Amino acid sequence: MLRRFARDRAAMLGAVLIGLLVLAAVFAPWLAPHPEDVWQFHTPRRLLPPGPGGLFGTDRMGGDVFSRILFGARITLSLSVIAVGSAVLIGVPVGLVAGYFRGWFSDLLMRFAEIFLAVPQIVLAIAIAQTLGPSIQNVILALSITYWPFWARLVYAETRSLRNEVFIESAVALGASPLRVMVLHVLPNIASPIIVRTSIGMGATILTAATLGFLGLGAPPPTPEWGRMIAESREYLPDAWWYALAPGMAIFLTVLGFNLLGDGLRDILDPRTRRSAGQGGGGGGGGGGGDE
Protein backbone atom coordinates (compact mmCIF):
# COMPACT_ATOMS: atom_id res chain seq x y z
CA MET A 1 0.00 0.00 0.00
CA LEU A 2 2.82 2.39 0.86
CA ARG A 3 4.58 1.44 -2.35
CA ARG A 4 1.47 2.22 -4.32
CA PHE A 5 1.38 5.61 -2.65
CA ALA A 6 5.06 6.23 -3.33
CA ARG A 7 4.48 5.56 -7.02
CA ASP A 8 1.70 8.14 -7.18
CA ARG A 9 3.78 11.17 -7.96
CA ALA A 10 0.92 13.63 -7.44
CA ALA A 11 0.17 12.31 -3.98
CA MET A 12 3.87 12.40 -3.14
CA LEU A 13 3.98 16.03 -4.24
CA GLY A 14 1.06 16.70 -1.94
CA ALA A 15 2.85 15.05 0.97
CA VAL A 16 5.98 17.06 0.24
CA LEU A 17 4.05 20.34 0.13
CA ILE A 18 2.41 19.59 3.46
CA GLY A 19 5.78 18.56 4.87
CA LEU A 20 7.21 21.91 3.80
CA LEU A 21 4.29 23.71 5.44
CA VAL A 22 4.87 21.89 8.70
CA LEU A 23 8.61 22.63 8.56
CA ALA A 24 7.94 26.29 7.88
CA ALA A 25 5.49 26.49 10.76
CA VAL A 26 7.69 24.70 13.27
CA PHE A 27 10.98 26.38 12.39
CA ALA A 28 9.66 29.82 11.43
CA PRO A 29 11.68 31.69 14.08
CA TRP A 30 14.92 30.09 12.88
CA LEU A 31 14.18 30.07 9.15
CA ALA A 32 12.93 33.64 8.90
CA PRO A 33 15.65 36.14 7.99
CA HIS A 34 13.78 38.86 9.92
CA PRO A 35 11.63 37.22 12.59
CA GLU A 36 11.19 40.56 14.32
CA ASP A 37 9.34 41.90 11.26
CA VAL A 38 6.21 40.17 12.34
CA TRP A 39 5.68 42.86 14.97
CA GLN A 40 8.01 45.72 14.10
CA PHE A 41 7.71 48.49 11.54
CA HIS A 42 10.59 49.60 9.31
CA THR A 43 8.94 52.41 7.41
CA PRO A 44 12.07 53.35 5.44
CA ARG A 45 12.13 49.89 3.92
CA ARG A 46 8.47 49.75 2.98
CA LEU A 47 7.26 48.31 -0.36
CA LEU A 48 10.62 47.19 -1.65
CA PRO A 49 10.48 44.74 -4.57
CA PRO A 50 12.05 41.31 -4.18
CA GLY A 51 15.82 41.57 -4.12
CA PRO A 52 18.77 41.26 -1.79
CA GLY A 53 16.71 42.95 0.94
CA GLY A 54 14.09 40.20 0.96
CA LEU A 55 13.22 37.18 -1.12
CA PHE A 56 9.58 38.19 -1.67
CA GLY A 57 9.99 41.95 -1.10
CA THR A 58 8.64 43.97 1.79
CA ASP A 59 5.15 45.08 2.78
CA ARG A 60 3.56 48.41 3.62
CA MET A 61 5.17 48.43 7.07
CA GLY A 62 8.55 47.50 5.75
CA GLY A 63 8.15 43.93 6.98
CA ASP A 64 9.95 41.15 5.13
CA VAL A 65 7.19 39.28 3.27
CA PHE A 66 9.15 36.02 3.32
CA SER A 67 9.49 36.10 7.11
CA ARG A 68 5.84 36.95 7.52
CA ILE A 69 4.82 34.08 5.20
CA LEU A 70 6.77 31.66 7.37
CA PHE A 71 5.03 32.87 10.50
CA GLY A 72 1.72 32.84 8.64
CA ALA A 73 2.23 29.11 8.12
CA ARG A 74 1.94 28.69 11.89
CA ILE A 75 -1.41 30.43 11.92
CA THR A 76 -2.75 28.57 8.91
CA LEU A 77 -1.65 25.19 10.16
CA SER A 78 -2.78 25.50 13.77
CA LEU A 79 -6.02 27.15 12.80
CA SER A 80 -6.97 24.53 10.22
CA VAL A 81 -5.86 21.59 12.34
CA ILE A 82 -7.88 22.74 15.33
CA ALA A 83 -10.92 23.73 13.27
CA VAL A 84 -10.98 20.51 11.26
CA GLY A 85 -10.18 18.49 14.38
CA SER A 86 -13.18 19.95 16.19
CA ALA A 87 -15.40 19.49 13.15
CA VAL A 88 -14.36 15.82 13.02
CA LEU A 89 -14.91 15.44 16.75
CA ILE A 90 -18.42 16.79 16.44
CA GLY A 91 -19.37 15.35 13.08
CA VAL A 92 -18.15 11.77 13.44
CA PRO A 93 -20.03 10.95 16.68
CA VAL A 94 -23.18 12.62 15.38
CA GLY A 95 -22.99 10.64 12.15
CA LEU A 96 -22.23 7.40 14.00
CA VAL A 97 -25.16 7.75 16.36
CA ALA A 98 -27.58 8.88 13.65
CA GLY A 99 -26.46 6.10 11.35
CA TYR A 100 -26.42 3.36 13.95
CA PHE A 101 -29.80 3.93 15.54
CA ARG A 102 -33.00 4.31 13.60
CA GLY A 103 -35.86 6.53 14.62
CA TRP A 104 -36.96 10.10 14.96
CA PHE A 105 -33.86 11.16 16.87
CA SER A 106 -31.56 10.06 14.05
CA ASP A 107 -33.73 11.86 11.54
CA LEU A 108 -33.72 14.96 13.65
CA LEU A 109 -29.93 14.93 13.98
CA MET A 110 -29.42 14.62 10.26
CA ARG A 111 -32.03 17.25 9.44
CA PHE A 112 -30.25 19.56 11.82
CA ALA A 113 -26.94 18.85 10.11
CA GLU A 114 -28.48 19.48 6.71
CA ILE A 115 -29.62 22.93 7.73
CA PHE A 116 -25.99 23.93 7.86
CA LEU A 117 -25.48 22.57 4.37
CA ALA A 118 -28.32 24.64 2.96
CA VAL A 119 -26.26 27.82 2.61
CA PRO A 120 -22.78 28.28 1.19
CA GLN A 121 -20.23 27.51 3.89
CA ILE A 122 -18.44 30.77 3.33
CA VAL A 123 -21.58 32.78 4.09
CA LEU A 124 -22.23 30.93 7.31
CA ALA A 125 -18.60 31.27 8.34
CA ILE A 126 -18.55 35.00 7.60
CA ALA A 127 -21.76 35.52 9.54
CA ILE A 128 -20.53 33.60 12.57
CA ALA A 129 -17.05 35.12 12.52
CA GLN A 130 -18.46 38.62 12.25
CA THR A 131 -20.94 37.98 15.04
CA LEU A 132 -18.26 36.72 17.37
CA GLY A 133 -15.74 39.43 16.57
CA PRO A 134 -12.39 39.31 14.81
CA SER A 135 -9.95 36.91 16.42
CA ILE A 136 -8.26 33.63 15.56
CA GLN A 137 -10.27 31.72 18.16
CA ASN A 138 -13.50 32.95 16.65
CA VAL A 139 -12.39 32.01 13.17
CA ILE A 140 -11.71 28.50 14.45
CA LEU A 141 -15.10 28.39 16.13
CA ALA A 142 -16.83 29.65 12.99
CA LEU A 143 -15.10 27.05 10.83
CA SER A 144 -15.89 24.18 13.19
CA ILE A 145 -19.55 25.11 13.40
CA THR A 146 -19.69 25.47 9.64
CA TYR A 147 -17.91 22.31 8.61
CA TRP A 148 -18.92 19.57 11.07
CA PRO A 149 -22.01 18.52 9.06
CA PHE A 150 -19.77 17.33 6.24
CA TRP A 151 -18.34 14.60 8.45
CA ALA A 152 -21.69 13.88 10.03
CA ARG A 153 -23.27 13.28 6.63
CA LEU A 154 -20.41 11.12 5.42
CA VAL A 155 -20.25 9.00 8.56
CA TYR A 156 -24.03 8.70 8.63
CA ALA A 157 -24.18 7.31 5.10
CA GLU A 158 -21.27 4.92 5.66
CA THR A 159 -22.65 3.68 8.96
CA ARG A 160 -26.08 3.12 7.47
CA SER A 161 -24.66 0.96 4.70
CA LEU A 162 -22.57 -1.03 7.21
CA ARG A 163 -25.41 -1.46 9.67
CA ASN A 164 -26.84 -4.53 7.96
CA GLU A 165 -23.54 -6.29 7.38
CA VAL A 166 -23.30 -9.74 8.87
CA PHE A 167 -20.29 -8.99 11.07
CA ILE A 168 -22.04 -6.01 12.66
CA GLU A 169 -25.23 -7.93 13.28
CA SER A 170 -23.32 -10.84 14.75
CA ALA A 171 -21.48 -8.48 17.10
CA VAL A 172 -24.86 -7.11 18.19
CA ALA A 173 -26.24 -10.63 18.57
CA LEU A 174 -23.29 -11.54 20.77
CA GLY A 175 -24.41 -8.84 23.15
CA ALA A 176 -21.91 -6.09 22.44
CA SER A 177 -23.11 -2.69 23.60
CA PRO A 178 -23.96 -0.12 20.91
CA LEU A 179 -21.01 2.01 21.94
CA ARG A 180 -18.69 -0.96 21.63
CA VAL A 181 -20.04 -1.91 18.20
CA MET A 182 -19.76 1.67 16.98
CA VAL A 183 -16.23 2.23 18.18
CA LEU A 184 -14.71 -1.21 17.64
CA HIS A 185 -16.59 -2.47 14.60
CA VAL A 186 -18.10 0.39 12.64
CA LEU A 187 -15.47 3.09 13.05
CA PRO A 188 -12.45 1.06 11.86
CA ASN A 189 -14.38 0.07 8.76
CA ILE A 190 -15.26 3.61 7.78
CA ALA A 191 -11.92 5.14 8.67
CA SER A 192 -10.75 5.35 5.05
CA PRO A 193 -13.43 7.72 3.77
CA ILE A 194 -13.10 9.80 6.93
CA ILE A 195 -9.36 10.19 6.39
CA VAL A 196 -9.82 11.10 2.73
CA ARG A 197 -12.57 13.58 3.57
CA THR A 198 -10.42 15.10 6.30
CA SER A 199 -7.50 15.73 3.96
CA ILE A 200 -9.72 17.41 1.41
CA GLY A 201 -11.58 19.20 4.20
CA MET A 202 -8.30 20.72 5.36
CA GLY A 203 -7.90 22.32 1.95
CA ALA A 204 -11.43 23.71 1.95
CA THR A 205 -11.07 25.02 5.49
CA ILE A 206 -7.81 26.79 4.72
CA LEU A 207 -9.42 28.49 1.72
CA THR A 208 -12.38 29.62 3.81
CA ALA A 209 -10.11 30.83 6.61
CA ALA A 210 -8.07 32.82 4.12
CA THR A 211 -11.25 34.33 2.74
CA LEU A 212 -12.28 35.38 6.23
CA GLY A 213 -8.87 36.97 6.67
CA PHE A 214 -9.21 38.68 3.32
CA LEU A 215 -12.54 40.19 4.38
CA GLY A 216 -10.97 41.42 7.60
CA LEU A 217 -12.69 38.89 9.82
CA GLY A 218 -9.62 37.01 10.97
CA ALA A 219 -6.94 37.96 13.41
CA PRO A 220 -6.39 41.72 13.76
CA PRO A 221 -3.27 43.27 12.21
CA PRO A 222 -0.35 42.96 12.32
CA THR A 223 -0.92 39.21 12.52
CA PRO A 224 0.78 37.73 9.45
CA GLU A 225 -2.32 35.87 8.25
CA TRP A 226 -2.06 35.10 4.54
CA GLY A 227 -5.57 36.19 3.54
CA ARG A 228 -5.18 39.45 5.41
CA MET A 229 -1.81 40.08 3.77
CA ILE A 230 -3.48 39.78 0.37
CA ALA A 231 -6.22 42.20 1.43
CA GLU A 232 -3.60 44.70 2.61
CA SER A 233 -1.80 44.49 -0.71
CA ARG A 234 -4.84 45.52 -2.73
CA GLU A 235 -4.36 49.25 -2.42
CA TYR A 236 -0.73 49.00 -3.51
CA LEU A 237 -1.52 47.35 -6.84
CA PRO A 238 -0.33 47.61 -9.56
CA ASP A 239 2.97 48.99 -8.22
CA ALA A 240 3.71 46.47 -5.45
CA TRP A 241 2.91 43.44 -7.63
CA TRP A 242 4.97 41.13 -5.39
CA TYR A 243 3.04 41.95 -2.27
CA ALA A 244 0.12 39.57 -2.91
CA LEU A 245 2.11 37.08 -4.94
CA ALA A 246 3.81 35.21 -2.12
CA PRO A 247 0.83 34.85 0.26
CA GLY A 248 -1.40 33.82 -2.65
CA MET A 249 1.09 31.17 -3.71
CA ALA A 250 1.43 30.03 -0.12
CA ILE A 251 -2.34 29.47 0.14
CA PHE A 252 -2.40 27.80 -3.26
CA LEU A 253 0.43 25.38 -2.53
CA THR A 254 -0.94 24.46 0.88
CA VAL A 255 -4.45 23.75 -0.38
CA LEU A 256 -3.00 21.96 -3.39
CA GLY A 257 -0.95 19.79 -1.04
CA PHE A 258 -3.98 18.69 0.97
CA ASN A 259 -6.09 18.09 -2.15
CA LEU A 260 -3.41 16.02 -3.87
CA LEU A 261 -2.85 14.04 -0.71
CA GLY A 262 -6.59 13.46 -0.37
CA ASP A 263 -6.81 12.27 -3.98
CA GLY A 264 -3.89 9.94 -3.47
CA LEU A 265 -5.27 8.58 -0.22
CA ARG A 266 -8.60 7.99 -1.90
CA ASP A 267 -6.85 5.90 -4.52
CA ILE A 268 -5.13 3.63 -2.07
CA LEU A 269 -7.74 3.54 0.68
CA ASP A 270 -11.02 3.54 -1.19
CA PRO A 271 -11.02 1.08 -4.08
CA ARG A 272 -14.57 2.00 -5.06
CA THR A 273 -13.52 5.36 -6.41
CA ARG A 274 -10.07 4.42 -7.58
CA ARG A 275 -8.95 7.02 -10.05
CA SER A 276 -6.56 5.00 -12.19
CA ALA A 277 -7.53 1.39 -11.86
CA GLY A 278 -5.01 -1.19 -12.99
CA GLN A 279 -4.80 -1.66 -16.69
CA GLY A 280 -6.79 -4.85 -16.66
CA GLY A 281 -9.54 -3.19 -14.67
CA GLY A 282 -11.40 -1.84 -17.65
CA GLY A 283 -11.22 -5.00 -19.70
CA GLY A 284 -11.91 -7.26 -16.77
CA GLY A 285 -14.96 -5.22 -15.85
CA GLY A 286 -16.16 -5.28 -19.42
CA GLY A 287 -15.92 -8.94 -20.20
CA GLY A 288 -14.28 -11.01 -17.55
CA GLY A 289 -16.42 -9.91 -14.66
CA GLY A 290 -19.66 -11.33 -13.48
CA ASP A 291 -19.02 -14.98 -14.16
CA GLU A 292 -19.60 -16.01 -10.59
Ligand X SMILES: Nc1ncnc2c1ncn2[C@@H]1O[C@H](COP(=O)(O)OP(=O)(O)O)[C@@H](O)[C@H]1O
Residue choice 47, 81, 172, 215 for contact with other proteins (CB under 8 A): 215
Interface map 38-77 toward other proteins (x if CB under 8 A) = ----------------------------------------
The full DSSP string for 107-172 is: HHHHHHHHHHTTS-HHHHHHHHHHHH-SSHHHHHHHHHHHHHHHHHHHHHHHHHHHHTSHHHHHHH
Minimum distance from CB of 279 to ligand X (Å)? 7
Residues 6+ apart with CB under 8 A from 13: 257, 260
Contact set for Mg ion, span 223-252 (CB under 5 A): none
Does 144 interact with other proteins (rule: CB under 8 A)?
no
Which residues are near ligand X by CB under 6 A?
A: 280, 283-284, 287-288, 291
Of residues 253-292, those binding Mg ion (CB under 5 A): 291
Give the integer Cα–Cα distance in Å for 103 and 136: 39
Asked if 123 interacts with other proteins (CB under 8 A), we say: yes
Torsion region of 291: left, alpha or beta (phi above 0 gives left; psi -120 to 50 gives alpha): alpha
Strand, helix or coil for residue 223: coil
Nearer to ligand X, 188 or 287 (CB): 287
Q: Which residues contact 188 (CB under 8 A, 6 or more apart)?
A: none
* 122 lies in the binding site for other proteins (CB under 8 A): yes
From other proteins, ligand X, Mg ion, none, which one binds at residue 215 (CB under 5 to 8 Å depending on kind)? other proteins
In whole angstroms, how close is the CB of 291 to ligand X at the nearest point? Answer: 4
H-helix or E-strand spanning residue 253: helix 242-269
* Footprint (CB under 8 A) of other proteins, residues 9-28: 10
C-alpha angle 174/180/185, rounded to 5°? Answer: 80
Residue 6 binds other proteins (CB under 8 A): no
Instruction: Find the angle CA(236)-CA(218)-CA(259) to the nearest 5 degrees.
Output: 90
With beta carbons less than 8 A apart as the criterion, state whether 233 and 240 touch.
Answer: yes
- From 52-60, 157-165, 175-183, 281-289, give the range in contact with other proteins by CB under 8 A: 281-289
Q: Which of 148, 12, 146, 140 is nearest to 76 (CA)?
A: 140
Q: Give the interface size with other proteins as a residue count (CB under 8 A).
A: 60
188 binds other proteins (CB under 8 A): no
Among 210, 219, 222, 228, binds other proteins (CB under 8 A): 210
Residue 235 as a binder of other proteins (CB under 8 A): the answer is: no
Work out whether 251 is an interface residue with other proteins (CB under 8 A): yes
Q: d(Cα 3, Cα 167) in Å, to the nearest integer?
A: 30
Strand, coil or helix: 58:
strand
Return the residue nearest ligand X (CB atom).
Answer: 280
Q: What is the Rg, in whole angstroms, of the alpha carbon atoms belonging to the chain? A: 23
Q: Interface with other proteins by CB under 8 A: which residues?
A: 10, 111-112, 114-116, 118-123, 126-128, 130-133, 203, 207, 210-211, 214-217, 227, 230, 233-234, 237-238, 241, 244, 247-248, 251-253, 255-256, 259-260, 263, 275-276, 278-283, 285-288, 290-292
